[in-house]
């Protein structure tokens, strides 16, 4: 379970532990067909946000028990004065939304952080090795662009394929025009396009962009949960060139009505740009026949429990919004699920890897049912039991992101001292 604390405000998650659970038992096939067992742990240094992402000239102040880092103007170098201007309409809407949400975020975060600290989390201490973050080359987007020239398989029933053949070979796998399935109850360490990746158990994925999303529709599976993490357009992404962004209107091309089951829960990650939030609520969801039922907040904190950015920063906020909606019920027997509460808070230490979100699997299970079929769109990693789609869908499955321990067989291995298994993992409910 990634849920460490659950209370009336929301959840505190250990995102790294969830990844470890999905890769605790791995198998690799050698060229001669022999099997060897592994235990994989996601590298903990990817979750070592020890300090707030603020200027070195910042001083800490407290607000209701939560540490917030705000600039100390006495120590900041003098800057050229800029002419004051009137805020534009987007800034006005953003400020109003923040003021409306601030109390929920502040009190919910305080409650969850205090509960997590009482269980031994957020002590500020880390046991990670001081190593640079892994940064393998990821050319999937370019490969997907090249794959547009390849013919799609039109025959019914040929839109999916097994990850490995009977002899353990992956050389036959067509990653760009078919869904690839690991139907094994173990994660598999496989070589794809000359690189090694860890594929979780009972997962499926399609490496493609919009032009070649048809195999996902032809897969013949309707999903009870669809999580969407769009590559929103913003200035930071353009400057960094970390990934290709997508105009908001293009999201309407996603075939949500064809992929969703009756009463499907649709969850979309939204950046702190008010126009994106308004677009999702007022245009995108109605276009798909999805009714907005709740807005949640993902709050990012350091390993000491401080906000990663000042809560009231006019530039970057320490939280992102999730918009939850239900598809119009297309049957007379909807899933037996809990009603989705509004204004809940999810708190976690964020990954230092750009755009890696915490898994919502454990949090959303009461709202979708235990046997729900789950899909993630614009995914950059895989989850056990989920289907995933995107043009970088294997990015964070590269073995360079994992510490791998060979067991010699299919049994479990003892975790090393630096693994997540040495962190307290408890769950409280009030």
User: What's the pLDDT at 29?
Assistant: 78
Taking only the tens place, the pLDDT of each residue in 160-176 is: 999 988 767 787 788 88
Q: Is the pLDDT of residue 63 over 50?
A: no
**Distance of alpha carbon 308 from alpha carbon 310, whole angstroms:** 7
Give the residue extent of every domain in the chain.
3-50+121-429
- Point out the least confidently predicted range of 72-86, 118-132, 255-269: 72-86
Strand partners, 325: 266, 292
Written as one string, the DSSP assignment of 268-294 is EEE-S-HHHHHHIIIIIHHHHTEEEEE
Once rounded to an integer, what is the mean pLDDT over residues 282-306?
96
Q: Is the pLDDT of residue 416 over 90?
A: no
- Point out the least confidently predicted range of 216-225, 300-309, 351-360: 351-360
**Distance of alpha carbon 133 from alpha carbon 403, whole angstroms:** 13
Residue 18 near residue 35, CB atoms below 8 Å: no
Rg (CA), the chain: 22
**Distance of alpha carbon 280 from alpha carbon 269, whole angstroms:** 10
Query: Mean pLDDT for the chain?
Result: 81
**Distance of alpha carbon 187 from alpha carbon 26, whole angstroms:** 4
Place of tokens 């952080």: 113
Residue 266 φ/ψ, nearest 5 degrees: -110, 125
Interior/surface letters 359-375, b for 16+ CB within 10 angstroms, e for the rest: bbbbbbbebbbeebbbb
The SS3 assignment for 127 reads coil
User: What's the pLDDT at 55?
Assistant: 43
Using pLDDT thresholds of 50, 70 and 90, give the confidence band for residue 138: low
**Of 102 and 49, more confident:** 102
User: What's the pLDDT at 131?
Assistant: 74
Share of the chain above pLDDT 90, in %: 52
The SS3 assignment for 19 reads helix
Place of tokens 């898994």: 359
Taking only the tens place, the pLDDT of each residue in 4-19 is: 999 999 999 999 999 9
Residue 345 φ/ψ, nearest 5 degrees: -120, 135
**Of 402 and 60, more confident:** 402
**Of 86 and 28, more confident:** 28
Give me the architecture of the 3-50+121-429 domain, per CATH. 3-Layer(aba) Sandwich (3.40)
């Amino acid at each position: 379970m990634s849920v460490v604390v659950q209370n009336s405000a929301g959840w505190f998650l250990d995102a790294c532990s969830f990844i470890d659970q999905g890769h605790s038992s791995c198998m690799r096939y050698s060229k001669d067909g022999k099997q060897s067992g592994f235990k994989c742990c996601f590298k903990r240094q990817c979750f070592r946000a020890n300090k707030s992402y603020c200027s070195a000239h910042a001083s800490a102040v407290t607000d209701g028990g939560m540490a917030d880092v705000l600039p100390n103007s006495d120590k900041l170098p003098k800057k050229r004065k800029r002419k004051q201007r009137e805020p534009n309409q987007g800034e006005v809407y953003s400020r109003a939304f923040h003021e409306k949400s601030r109390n929920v975020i502040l009190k919910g975060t305080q409650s969850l952080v205090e509960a997590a600290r009482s269980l031994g989390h957020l002590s500020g201490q880390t046991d990670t090795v001081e190593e640079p973050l892994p940064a393998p080359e990821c050319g999937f987007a370019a490969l997907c662009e090249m794959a547009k020239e390849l013919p799609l398989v039109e025959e019914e029933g040929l839109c999916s394929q097994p990850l490995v053949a009977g002899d353990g070979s992956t050389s036959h796998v067509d990653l760009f025009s078919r869904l690839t399935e690991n139907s094994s109850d173990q994660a598999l360490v496989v070589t794809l396009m000359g690189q090694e990746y860890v594929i979780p158990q009972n997962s499926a994925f399609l490496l493609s962009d919009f032009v070649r999303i048809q195999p996902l529709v032809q897969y013949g599976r309707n999903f009870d949960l669809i999580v969407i993490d769009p590559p929103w357009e913003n200035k930071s992404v353009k400057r960094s060139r970390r990934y290709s962004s997508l105009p908001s209107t293009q999201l309407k091309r996603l075939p949500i009505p064809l992929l969703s089951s009756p009463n499907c829960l649709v969850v979309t990650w939204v950046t702190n740009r008010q126009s994106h939030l308004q677009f999702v609520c007022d245009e995108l969801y109605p276009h798909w026949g999805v009714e907005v039922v709740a807005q949640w907040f993902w709050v990012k904190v350091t390993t000491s429990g401080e906000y990663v950015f000042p809560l009231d920063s006019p530039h970057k906020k320490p939280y992102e919004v999730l918009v939850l909606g239900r598809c119009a019920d297309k049957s007379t027997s909807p899933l037996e699920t809990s009603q989705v509460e509004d204004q809940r808070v999810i708190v976690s230490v964020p990954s230092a890897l750009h755009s890696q979100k915490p898994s919502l699997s454990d949090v959303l299970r009461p709202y979708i049912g235990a046997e729900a079929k789950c899909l993630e769109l614009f995914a950059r990693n895989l989850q056990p039991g989920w289907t995933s789609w995107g043009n970088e869908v294997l990015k964070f499955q590269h073995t360079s992101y994992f510490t791998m321990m060979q067991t010699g067989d299919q049994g479990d291995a003892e975790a090393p001292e630096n693994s997540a298994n040495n962190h307290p993992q408890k769950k409280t409910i009030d």
